[in-house]
Amino acid sequence: MTSRDSSQLTNRIRRLRFDHGEMTQEELAKRAGVTRQTIHALESGKYAPSLPLALRIARVFNTTVENVFQLNGCDQGDAGGSDNGEP
């Protein structure tokens, strides 16, 4: 992922953690299979996760990826850019 793409990526991980019984970063890291530092970097907006990690995090919160991660500045249908295969 390029930095231009990821600069628009935000997430609600911190909010979702507190909504799920004040889950700690450590617990989320363990359940998502990453280190606590990566969860911290995600919450700080300093790291854009891979698709598998985004899916795992969404699965931990029993929600969709779109509910966890948002691509600001882009309409939902435009998120794929010009490489969506459509004419």
Q: Which residues bind another protein (CB under 8 A)?
A: 1, 3, 6-7, 9, 26, 29-30, 33-38, 41, 44, 46-50, 53
Least distance from C-beta 60 to another protein, angstroms?
Answer: 14
Cα(43)–Cα(84) distance, rounded to whole angstroms? 29
Cβ-based neighbour number of residue 52 at 10 Å:
10
Q: Which is nearer to another protein, 35 or 64 (CB)?
A: 35
Helix (H, G, I), strand (E, B) or coil at 37: helix
Q: Which is nearer to another protein, 19 or 52 (CB)?
A: 52
